[in-house]
Amino acid sequence: MADYINVTSLNRLAKQVLAQCDPLNDLIVCGEISGFTRHYKSGHLYFTLKDENAAIKTVMFRSQAQLLNFEPQNGMLVLVYGRATIYERDGAFQLYADYMKPFGAGAAQMAFDALYKKLDSEGLFSPERKRPLPAVPRCIGVVTSKTGAAWQDVQNVIGRRWPMVKLLLAPVNVQGIEAEKSITEGIRRLDRDPRPDLILVTRGGGSKEDLWVFNSERIARAAAARRKPADSAVGHEIDTSILDYVADLRAPTPSAAAEMCVPDQADVRQKIFILQQNIQKNIQNRCNLCYNRFNQLAAAQILQRRHSQLTHRERELSALQASVQSAAQRRVQSAERQLQNAAAVAESLSPYAVLARGYTLTERQGVPCAVEALRPGETITVRGAKAAAECRVEAVHTLEQKTGE
């Protein structure tokens, strides 16, 4: 009877034989995902990879699954990089995946749409999360390949537009298996560094497969968790990545991103010149306004002084007028008294007043005359206060005046 072996030994022997088969240890297998499961504790991925005629169980351990830049889904066509061997416990022939990526435009778009929907539902693309870039940054952190054309374009454009800014490069791999981890660490490293005012994540153009790493969920979440503003410029204008939606600003090319990050010194000089002109005009206008205001105030002060002088003169004139009126009134009153006295004297000397006391006036031919001048036979008029009499002189007698002792 031939020697026998147990099942464990058989499975181990088969695994050893398969391990010595080089083609099985470096495989790239194309197939459609079916029965996809992510273990809730370990984080390992379990699924079946199938085509029209066959299927194979596939396992991706957590350490490799964390490097995926998309979310696998049932029905997605993928390329799986790994090795095929036997799982000793069950004796099952299965594929151990080291890396996996969508295959074909349909699968890539499906992965893109699924991740976009997931992150959008979490609010990572919300406009409220967008922050403005600093107007004049002092330092810009750049996440890109140090040997790529994008780094050269950024240096050339910024050196021409705003050479005063400092550039801090975080050199990363922008394609390949290590690209996702490298870019994620580059973003986090610059976000922790106190020197950069903003972060620019960029790379030049390439195929969709080359740019696919920027659709990584890990990169998107690292960009969403940053504290500093970020600009994204991946590929050309027609290329749009998940990172573009998470960033605060998306530029179509690395050169355009550099232009968005800094002002143009020629434009700034022109604006400064215009501001200087406006300031000078404003100062001149202000001086003219103050000069005119000063003249107005000076004229107002002159008018005020003249008004005060006129008021003073008016008061003096009023006082003089009152004095003249008082003096005139006194003169009038004095003249009235003198006139009254003169009238009284005149009244006392008036012949009519004498007549009123009973005396008469002798007139000859209408002219008063003395009695001693009369001659007998003349006709005279004897006039009293109230009547006159026509008389004839009969004789004129001379009277002797009596003198006192």
pLDDT band at 104 (very low <50, low <70, confident <90, very high): confident
Place of tokens 């002002």: 263
pLDDT band at 402 (very low <50, low <70, confident <90, very high): low
pLDDT of amino acid 405? 45
CATH number of 7-120: 2.40.50.140
Q: Quick check: helix, strand or coil at residue 30?
A: strand
Lowest mean pLDDT among 39-53, 135-149, 257-271, 310-324: 310-324
pLDDT of amino acid 1? 47
Cα angle: 9, vertex 11, 16; to 5 degrees: 90
Residue 404 pLDDT more than 60? Answer: no
pLDDT of amino acid 393? 87
Read off the tokens for 174.
């922008």
> Cα dihedral sign for 48, 51, 55, 57?
negative
**Mean pLDDT of the region 109-114:** 84
Residue 122 pLDDT more than 80? Answer: yes
Place of tokens 């005060």: 308
> Cα dihedral sign for 55, 60, 66, 67?
negative
Consecutive H or E run containing 236 = none
Per the model's pLDDT, the better-predicted residue between 237 and 229 turns out to be: 229
| Cβ-based neighbour number of residue 14 at 10 Å | 15
Q: What is the pTM of this model?
A: 0.57
Mean pLDDT of the residues in the chain: 89
What is the SS3 assignment for 69-110? CCCCCCCCEEEEEEEEEEECCCCEEEEEEEEEEECCHHHHHH
Q: Which CATH architecture has domain 133-263?
A: 3-Layer(aba) Sandwich (3.40)
Residue 102 pLDDT more than 70? Answer: yes
| Residue 188 C-beta-side C-alpha neighbours within 13 Å | 12
> Cα dihedral sign for 8, 14, 17, 20?
negative
pLDDT of amino acid 2? 59
| Cβ-based neighbour number of residue 288 at 10 Å | 10
Alpha helices in 350-388 (DSSP H): 351-356
Chain segment 277-295, per-residue pLDDT in tens = 999 999 999 999 988 888 8
Chain segment 46-85, per-residue pLDDT in tens = 999 998 889 999 999 999 998 887 888 888 889 999 999 9
How many Å apart are CA 103 and CA 209, to the nearest integer? 9
Chain segment 327-381, per-residue pLDDT in tens = 888 888 888 888 888 877 777 777 777 777 778 888 888 888 888 888 888 888 8
The rounded Cα 290 to chain-centroid distance in angstroms is 28
Find the helix packing angle between 149-161 and 254-261, rounded to 10°.
30
How far does the chain reach from its first CA to its final CA, in angstroms? 226
Read off the tokens for 35.
């029965």
**Mean pLDDT of the region 321-327:** 86
Residue 212 pLDDT more than 90? Answer: no
pLDDT of amino acid 401? 64
Read off the tokens for 15.
């695994």
What one-character-per-residue DSSP string does 144-158 give?
E-TTSHHHHHHHHHH
Chain segment 163-198, per-residue pLDDT in tens = 999 999 999 999 887 899 999 999 999 999 999 999
Percent of the chain with pLDDT over 90: 48
Pair 374, 396: CB distance under 8 Å: yes
